[in-house]
Amino acid sequence: MNEEPIADVDQGDFLALVGEIRPELHRYCARLMGSVIDGEDVVQDAIAKAYETLETLKAKPALRSWLFRIAHNRALDLLRGRSLRVAEPIEVASEMPDDDTPDPLETLMHREAVATAVSRFVELPTMQRSVVILKDVLGQSLNDIADLLDLSVDAVKGHVARGRTRLVEINSRPPATRAEGTYSSANLRYIELFNRRDWDGLRALLADDVKLHQATYPTRTGANAGMFFTIYARFPQVHLAPAWLEGEEVIAVFENGLAAKPHHFMRIGWRNGRITSIHDYRYVPYVVDNAELTLR
């Protein structure tokens, strides 16, 4: 990764730089977690931690490597908590070319990794998963991966070789089918009110303690969350449709009535017929790029 160390950046400059890195960071975290939703949660946590500690650092780090390291460690913490992490010894590195050696295998494995569904990466042990994503999806060098993961280059080569072999095996098997039920009447009601622009009807569904979550913005609660519909009222072409994502019922959001693919999605939390939470991904549309959405 070619980058200059950041120095003397204010908070606005930091957030601008983060905006450039964020989609790439999500590509890594989503595959590491096996979920575009969980991957975005990790990205938000990492950025928040970096933002909070930026001014306390004695020396400003290289931003990209620093954020990747924070996100990587946060993801591992979550994976350990779920008991998903599989430990394995570092074996002798298998033969593989250095980064500056042209090899058709590199191109082939890049295509294999990019074509792999986000959810299937969790079938790899965590370290293999990390190095394969960094090498074959994001195209980072062996040296950069070694620095990020605190490994030797030979260890990285070994994990890449074994991870690639396992990934090919994984992709040779059909993915497990995910059970998806019928859409809830609550979400269908929300969609119906939204599509006919009944904003008062939607606001009436908000619980007193409702929370509105939108990336890049602080969480809004209670009456402050009602502005959500005021903003969407400015965009008459937006319409919603029911969808499933990662075994969860979500709402696909089409920014243009003629669009073939949703721009983003929403997740609505309910309690006793009232809306308790809205997670809106409008400001991070890259999340939907690798999402395995099932539309009605």
- Class of 185-295 in CATH: alpha beta
| pLDDT of amino acid 100 | 55
* Paired tokens of 175: 């993915």
* Paired tokens of 78: 């979550």
| pLDDT of amino acid 64 | 79
Hey, what amino acid is at 84? L
Is the pLDDT assigned to residue 11 strictly greater than 80? no
| pLDDT of amino acid 89 | 39
Which among 41-50, 84-93, 268-277 has the top mean pLDDT? 268-277
What CATH number belongs to 11-172? 1.20.140.160
| pLDDT of amino acid 215 | 85
If one compares 97 and 214, the residue with the highest pLDDT of the two is 214
Is the pLDDT assigned to residue 278 strictly greater than 80? yes
If one compares 273 and 6, the residue with the highest pLDDT of the two is 273
In order of 98, 141, 145, the CA distances from 138 in angstroms are 16, 9, 11
Q: In what order do the strands lie in the sheet with 220-221?
A: 220-221, 206-214, 274-280, 264-271, 248-254, 239-245, 294-295
* Rounded to 5°, angle at Cα 22 from 19 and 24: 135
If one compares 86 and 143, the residue with the highest pLDDT of the two is 143
Could you give the CA distance from residue 148 to residue 25 in angstroms, rounded to a whole number? 13
| pLDDT of amino acid 112 | 79
Rounded mean pLDDT, 26-42? 95
| pLDDT of amino acid 272 | 95
Q: For 74-109, how does the pLDDT look when each residue is reduced to its tens digit (9 = 90+)?
A: 999 888 876 533 434 334 344 455 555 555 667 777
Domain ranges of the chain: 11-172, 185-295
Measured between alpha carbons, how far apart are the two ends of the chain, in Å? Answer: 41
If one compares 89 and 120, the residue with the highest pLDDT of the two is 120
If one compares 90 and 11, the residue with the highest pLDDT of the two is 11
Is the pLDDT assigned to residue 170 strictly greater than 80? yes
Q: Band of the pLDDT at 235, cuts 50, 70, 90?
A: very high
If one compares 91 and 152, the residue with the highest pLDDT of the two is 152
CB 11 within 8 A of CB 28: no
Residues in a beta bridge with 213? 279
Could you give the CA distance from residue 186 to residue 1 in angstroms, rounded to a whole number? 47
